Amino acid sequence: MFKAFSSLLLITIVWGSTFPLHKAVLTDIQTLPYLFIRFSIATILSFVIWRKHSVKYGAILGVVLGFAHLLQTYGINFTDASKSGFITSLYIPFTPLISFLIEKEKPNLVQWLCFPLSLLGSYMLFGGLSGFNFGDFLTFIGAVLFALHIVLITKFSRKNEESSLLAFQFLIASIIYLPLSFNANWNLGYPIWITALYTSIFATILVTFLQLKYQKIVGSNSTVLIFIGEPVFASLFSFVFLGESFSTLQILGAIIMITVIILTSFSYVINRYIKNKVLKTNIP
């Protein structure tokens, strides 16, 4: 179990490392070509490395993942980055709802406590909402799709080999981005290609493989609570490499989110302890 939790936490570190990279090298009109290249590289490498591929389940995951990224990318053009970050984090409460509808997975006592805490921490870190516009709506739908993607990864990986769900997932995502990027800026410099190579290998192939391998062990609800480490690490990397500063409220928000991750990591132990206490209390 420790290996599963630590591997999922590693995913958030890798994801967090991409934020300062994207901010430093990408412009809005280069985003879609970049996403196409990123997922195309991941597609080619996945077909080369692995031989067995699930067309059906991989394609379903690719459609959900592709449109989730697309809606988030388009949405941020019409809203603030801080609002986009907070709205995207709404995939946290959507995940247990979708998980219950699809897998009948119910949150445990610790998770019930952690879900509202995680939203509070996210609100403090990103600044919450002020008004609601079209970009916020697109980002909101993207958040729902991100939650659905997490649950489907857990569900599909229980009946398929992890590696078989990679190639067609990335292929479908890249196909979605290609026609939408025809009018974008394809004048991509050397730093963007290096970033695409890094994110395709580590932030796409590696993290998705780890998701497929370990989410089914800890479940969708615990996974999504671990994944709130992504904005925390993104903020940390942005502070180190971009020199960004953060308010006291943002720091408190990050502390709350780190606390949620720690509680989630020990949730099984805590719940077992609570149940044992309850059983001992009820024994005459």
pLDDT digits (tens, 9 = 90+) for 138-189: 888 998 999 999 999 999 999 999 999 999 999 999 999 999 888 888 888 8
Q: Is the pLDDT of residue 94 over 50?
A: yes
CA distance between the termini of the chain: 34
For the beta carbon of residue 228, count every other beta carbon within 10 angstroms.
Answer: 26
Report helix, strand or coil for 171: helix
Own/partner pairs for 192-196, CB < 8 Å, 24+ apart?
192/25, 192/26, 192/30, 192/34, 193/37, 195/18, 195/21, 195/22, 195/25, 195/26, 195/34, 196/34, 196/37, 196/38, 196/41
* pLDDT score, position 81: 65
pLDDT range class, residue 279, cuts 50, 70, 90: very low
pLDDT range class, residue 122, cuts 50, 70, 90: confident
Mean pLDDT, residues 243-247 = 79
Closest to 75 (Cα-Cα) out of 140, 27, 18: 140
Maximum average pLDDT range among 121-125, 198-202, 266-270, 271-275:
198-202
Choice among 8-17, 21-30, 162-171, 215-224 with the minimum mean pLDDT: 21-30
The percent of residues above 90 in pLDDT, for the chain, comes to 40
* pLDDT score, position 281: 53
pLDDT range class, residue 47, cuts 50, 70, 90: very high
Between 26 and 30, the more confident residue is 30
Mean pLDDT, residues 218-223 = 88
Q: Angle at CA 179, nearest 5°, toward 91 and 41? A: 70
Q: Is the pLDDT of residue 280 over 70?
A: no
Whether the Cβ atoms of residue 195 and residue 41 lie closer than 8 Å to each other: no
CA distance 58 to 6: 25
pLDDT range class, residue 275, cuts 50, 70, 90: low
Between 114 and 148, the more confident residue is 148
